[in-house]
Amino acid sequence: MFGLTLGPLVFGDYPQSMKMNVGSRLPSFTKSQSEFVKGTIDFIGINHYYSVYVNDRPLKEGVRDYAADMSVYQRGSRTDPATSEYVPTVYPDDPEGLRLVLEYLTEAYGGLPIYVQENGKSNYFLFRHDLSSGKAAANDILNDTDRVEYLKTYIGSTLDALRNGANVKGYFVWNFLDIFEFLAGYKLGFGMYRVDFDDEARPREARLSAHWYSGFLKNNGISIRSEVDDTGHHAQQ
């Protein structure tokens, strides 16, 4: 998937495997076009929320869609059976996956600077929701301990990748506060600050994750185990 975009921008052409699988449906570059686009990228920006692992799958004959062109079996974790060509619907937290992809991008694309532009966990998977409204149970709205754990482990994996030579230049949490999400409207907030969209004033309340992340930035790194009780106390105030 990276090769579809990064191949032309870094090397001036699509990967050979993509050419073989997609064939004449894949646009081709003239020599001058290839030289024109080659090396026109300043950095790589990725949005990472979960991992998808793949195994090789024989290429289907006949008419194929984008998923079939990839010629892989997909699964949500290393231990799941590789049975589907389509993206799985369940994704366990996998911070190791972020480390692996950061190291791969550095190795495969010439050490370009990399920015993790989005990384976070949605409220939908943290709280008990009414599926029709997307609303969380009242007692769960602010105490997003799972999000704190998610951020801690994914930030740690980003640091591991950096120590292993990945050219990571920045990391950004998604998101500062609940907003309208492109694919799910107001039902899938990622915010460290809760926004009450039922109130016209749109009041905001800091979740546990907001206090934890603020402390992390102020102290240049903190332990979740020693800080979670204190930040949880502040989140309830």
Kindly state the tokens that stand for 80: 């799941």
Check residue 125 and give its pLDDT: 60
The average confidence (pLDDT) of the chain is 84
Flag whether the pTM goes above 0.85. Answer: no
Phi/psi class of residue 22: alpha, beta or left (left: φ > 0; alpha: ψ in -120 to 50)? Answer: alpha
What's the rounded Cα separation, in Å, for the pair 12 and 8? 4
* Domain residue ranges of the chain, discontinuous segments joined by +: 1-41, 42-51+92-237, 52-90
Contact 141, 120 (CB under 8 A): no
Q: Which of the following CATH numbers is that of domain 42-51+92-237: 3.20.20.70, 3.20.20.80, 3.40.50.800, 3.40.1440.60?
A: 3.20.20.80
Check residue 220 and give its pLDDT: 75
**DSSP per position, 169-200:** EEE--S-SB---BTTTBTSS---SEEE-TTST
Check residue 138 and give its pLDDT: 44
